[in-house]
Amino acid sequence: MREYFIRRLLILLPTIFFATLLVFFLIRLTPGHIIDLMLTEHDVAAEEMSRKKIEQALGLDVPIYIQYFRWIKNIFIHGDLGRSLWKETSVTEEVLSRLPVTFELGVLSMAFALLLAFPIGIYSAIRQDTICDYIGRTIAIIGLAVPSFVTGTVIMVVPAIYWGWSPPIEHIPFLKDPIANLKMFLLPSIILGMALSAVTMRMTRTMMLEVLRQDYIRTAWAKGLKELIVVRKHALKNALIPVITLIGLQLPILIGGTVIIETIFVLPGMGLLMLESINQRDYPIITGLMLFIGLVILMVNLIVDLSYGFLDPKVRYK
């Protein structure tokens, strides 16, 4: 296990390197330059300087590959992700200040998704082709068919028009007022969790049906074991391995969903920061966020791989 873990960590290094390379260069190919935006926004400091002086002040007067190596050098030597080109604030501080909001939204959404997907998926497989199975499959199809941004927009707009009610949009930290904080995150988490639960629900049902048809399951039934024991001890662990893989692959979808949900519900998280930075062409913040998100995704995939050994004793890491 330890050797496998070390090898996987070493493999992460070139993956992160190519990811940073791709993001760093692609974002600079996006139409619209930050200097043009500064001049368009009537930035007083920008108007008093020539374009060449602005480029020198922002460090954009050198070739792009030199900018990249400067950025990488600052990360590995100083642990610094750079500074915002607009606000002159530290990118690391900006990311860390927004992290708790996105982390809470992601954890609550994933918790809701799994609490919805596992019971319905398992019960639908056990009671195949019954009315409960059809209801569960209908819920999954609705979750797949209706995008989260449509549901979020409807919940924000329709109650405000007809009943004069709208979800709370002023962010309250959890430690300051846990109840108010959870009230604020409840609707966004449910909306984002519904989108995530649909695929997991269908995969859970499919894998449970496949496992329940195996010979060793029929043997367990023939021995007279209770349904709960057959499902929990014999079927569930084997069925969960592909489902766990799917959950790990859904993390990028979860992060992409937070961008949309945070924008709709005005949650000051990393998703909203990413959208604002892209609109402003704030390159250091964009690259810093993408580096952080890439690291999180890679580490979660590593944890998913390691979890196979706990779910299936036949899995060995050599």
Q: pLDDT (tens digit, 9 = 90+) per residue, 175-212?
A: 788 888 888 888 888 888 887 888 888 888 888 888 88
Domains in the chain, please, with CATH?
Answer: 2-78 (no CATH), 98-311 (1.10.3720.10)
Contact 11, 47 (CB under 8 A): no
Q: Exposed, middle or buried, 90 (CB in 10 Å: 0-12/13-18/19+)?
A: middle
The SS3 assignment for 120 reads helix
Query: Hey, what are 5's tokens?
Result: 């873990």
The label of the residue with tokens 């299936």 reads 312
| CA nearest to 264, candidates 164, 154, 186, 162 | 154
Amino acid at position 79, single letter: G
Rg (CA), the chain: 24
**Do 316 and 260 contact (CB within 8 A), yes or no?**
no
Chain segment 282-306, per-residue pLDDT in tens: 888 888 888 888 888 888 877 877 7
- For the entire predicted model, the pTM comes to 0.79
Q: What is the pLDDT of residue 172?
A: 80
Residue pointed to by tokens 């023939």:
222
Q: Given a cut of 70, is residue 50 above it in pLDDT?
A: no
Token output for 153: 């927009």
Cβ atoms 121, 200 nearer than 8 A: yes
SS3 29: coil
pLDDT at residue 42 tops 70? no
Instruction: Calculate the dihedral angle through the C-alpha atoms of 26, 28, 30, 33, rounding to the nearest 10 degrees.
Output: 180
Residue 175 in 3-state DSSP? coil
**How many percent of the chain have pLDDT more than 70?**
92
Q: What is the pLDDT of residue 316?
A: 59
Structure tokens at 142: 């609705």
Among 197, 201, 170, 176, CA closest to 108 = 197
Average pLDDT over residues 269-292: 86
CB atoms near residue 135 (< 10 Å): 13
The mean pLDDT value for 158-162 works out to 81
